[in-house]
Structure 1
Amino acid sequence: MIFLENEYIKASLSTKGAELQNLTSKETGKEYLWNGNPDYWGKFSPILFPIVGALKDNTYYYGDKEYKLPRHGFARDNEFSLELISHTEALFTLTQNEETLKVYPFNFTLQLHYKIIGTSLFCTYIVLNPDDKDLLFSVGGHPAFSASTNEHIDYDDYFLEFNKDESLIYHKLNGDLIDDETDIISLSNHSLPLTHNLFYKDALVFKTLKSDRISLKNHKDSHGLHFNFKNFPFFGIWAAKDADFVCLEPWCGIADGINHNQNLKDKEGIITLPPKGKSERIWSIECF
């Protein structure tokens, strides 16, 4: 485990998946991340790479060959190397290996850079193409935030506040794939109340979200967080059934649509990075 700390917050990270696992206020002791209870969902904040979501039949085609990848790809299950560490920042790196090349025929460098400044933690996804051919990939985040309950606070006391949206158009899921059918959730004062049954049919998937900040708050105390993100064209909101957390998921990429032809080059949201190119995306958590 790797530990980052300043006078306001402290965080812990694992080299497996370069995963953020704790984010705590030093003043109040409040834990902002989900506790990873495996009875519901045994992860904390996995990295999604080189795909986001599921492939149709877990299969894609590239260069006239068939490949298999599980939902959200393989990076979250791989050990990253730690290349930089100080009291307040760490850099993790994953590159291709013999096993990844069997399922994903690309050379790549994936880096996660974490840094804490004040009461905020910043996570930057960096993808580098070391090769002389295009690199095709998607990348995204899956951080799970605690909506813990006690004798004073119920899950239904929590809500999400969107800084720009007044209503939410979401795509329904057909199994693990994106359906063409959409539905609308009207917001009151830009706010979406959290209820467990909101996620009984799986995640809410957005392609047209206007907001670049979503705040998790509750009606019983003044503590919460601002989740800031930019340049992520897709977004997901999810929780495991009856679990006391909510995932806020910024994505550059999305699960296959039900009518997708399974060609990687035609996949919605796929990023084509030219030789020696670099892609960078960042999200942050501001604790209060």
Structure 2
Amino acid sequence: MAVTIETDHLKAVLNEKGAELASLKRKDNDIEYIWQADPAYWKRHAPVLFPIVGALKNGTYTYNGRTYQLPQHGFARDMDFELLEQKADAVSFRLQSNTKTKEMYPFDFELIIGYALGGDGLTVDYQVKNLASEAMYFSIGGHPAFNVPIDDGLDFTDYYLDPSPMKSRINLSLKDGLIDLDQRTLGQTNTTIALNHELFKNDALIYETKGLNSFTIRSDKSPHLVSVSFKNFPYVGFWSTYPQKSPFVCIEPWAGLADAFDTSGKLTEKLGIQKLAAYDTFHTKYAIVVK
């Protein structure tokens, strides 16, 4: 089922399946900023990545001596969430551990995803609750895809990525879906990055982040833009398909990463893993601004 929230200026549509953002529009220009999941390119809009981000080596991990299988980016994006609370301009969804999740992931958890409209954008709020008496290990991230070009009559290459603050960040390379730590470099995010499809020929661009960050997709040929800002996500990914030239770009705040090539396979030692104490709550959020 789809849920619509709106203000005088904005309208958003959320799906209960995956608690996924499916549409975000300004009412003054009726521009759709969210990719509309054309399966000819990519069938998703903005999936929630949980309880892992990226791929596991060989699709498996071990915990307490047992081996588990998880698909890339985890299971939350394909599960039906419960509609927890709905207001005119905000909505929240809940997913709790169950028999099916425990076949893949042995922890007792509650995941609450909240969406709230305000000003020129949408805030996406993540709460992960550990419901058990032992520590919980997880990753979580966003994967929103934005239409590029934003404006009719413009081209993908008319746009660029504008980082803030403009400073160099550590770039993490992917090879066959895994992080190659030997190929870490200093990424040149101290300037704008012109968008072209070849940027994604080696999969996603991934950077380490610290503090407050924002990344904006804009064009000098248009006043319209989309920006993603966040503080408590240690990584960000940028992705589009290649060699297929898709008309979207994802800006992905992550609290987690794909496995490294030299992973031990133990969940407790996984690259970028978050550790949540017994009965504790992890809370973070990011914001999307559209103009």
Whether contact under 8 Å (1:207, 1:233) holds in the other structure is yes
Partner in structure 1 of residue 184 of structure 2 = 182
- The equivalences for 1:35-114 within 5 A come to 35-114=36-115
Whether contact under 8 Å (2:54, 2:72) holds in the other structure is yes
Partner in structure 2 of residue 254 of structure 1 = 257
Question: How far apart are residue 166 of structure 1 and its match?
Answer: 3.4
Alignment counterpart, residue 263 of structure 1, candidates 259, 266, 277: 266
Deviation track 1:227-264 (CA, whole Å, cap 9, x = no partner) reads: 11111011111011211111001100100000010000
Count of residue correspondences: 287
Question: How far apart are residue 124 of structure 1 and its match?
Answer: 0.3
- The equivalences for 1:98-247 within 5 A come to 98-148=99-149, 152-180=153-181, 181-186=183-188, 190-208=191-209, 212-241=213-242, 242-247=245-250
Deviation track 1:192-234 (CA, whole Å, cap 9, x = no partner) reads: 1100111121101112467611111012111102211111011
| AA of the residue aligned to 1:284 | A
Question: How far apart are residue 131 of structure 1 and its match?
Answer: 1.1
Measured in 2, the distance between the counterparts of 1:171 and 1:215 equals 20
- Higher mean alpha-carbon deviation, 175-184 vs 24-33, is at 175-184
Partner in structure 2 of residue 279 of structure 1 = 282
Measured in 2, the distance between the counterparts of 1:151 and 1:264 equals 45
Evaluate the alpha carbon distance shift between residue 51 and residue 39 of structure 1 in structure 2; reply closer, same or farther with a 3 A threshold. same
List runs of 5+ in structure 1 lacking aligned partners.
Answer: none
Deviation track 1:140-175 (CA, whole Å, cap 9, x = no partner) reads: 000001112777311111111111133344222110
Deviation track 1:62-98 (CA, whole Å, cap 9, x = no partner) reads: 0000000011000000000001001101010000111
Question: How far apart are residue 275 of structure 1 and its match?
Answer: 1.3
Deviation track 1:83-141 (CA, whole Å, cap 9, x = no partner) reads: 10011010100001111111100100001010001221000010011111111111000
- Higher mean alpha-carbon deviation, 172-181 vs 202-211, is at 202-211
Measured in 2, the distance between the counterparts of 1:269 and 1:2 equals 33
Evaluate the alpha carbon distance shift between residue 148 and residue 234 of structure 1 in structure 2; reply closer, same or farther with a 3 A threshold. same
Whether contact under 8 Å (1:165, 1:211) holds in the other structure is no
Whether contact under 8 Å (1:158, 1:219) holds in the other structure is yes
Measured in 1, the distance between the counterparts of 2:173 and 2:247 equals 23
RMSD between superposed Cα atoms in Å: 1.5
Whether contact under 8 Å (2:211, 2:231) holds in the other structure is no
- Give the 3-state SS of the residue equivalent to 1:33 in structure 2: coil
Whether contact under 8 Å (1:209, 1:235) holds in the other structure is no
Measured in 2, the distance between the counterparts of 1:8 and 1:64 equals 53
Q: TM-score, normalised by structure 1?
A: 0.96
- Give the 3-state SS of the residue equivalent to 1:197 in structure 2: helix
Measured in 2, the distance between the counterparts of 1:184 and 1:244 equals 28
Measured in 2, the distance between the counterparts of 1:35 and 1:183 equals 34
- Give the 3-state SS of the residue equivalent to 1:156 in structure 2: helix
- Give the 3-state SS of the residue equivalent to 1:220 in structure 2: coil
Percent identity between the two aligned chains:
37
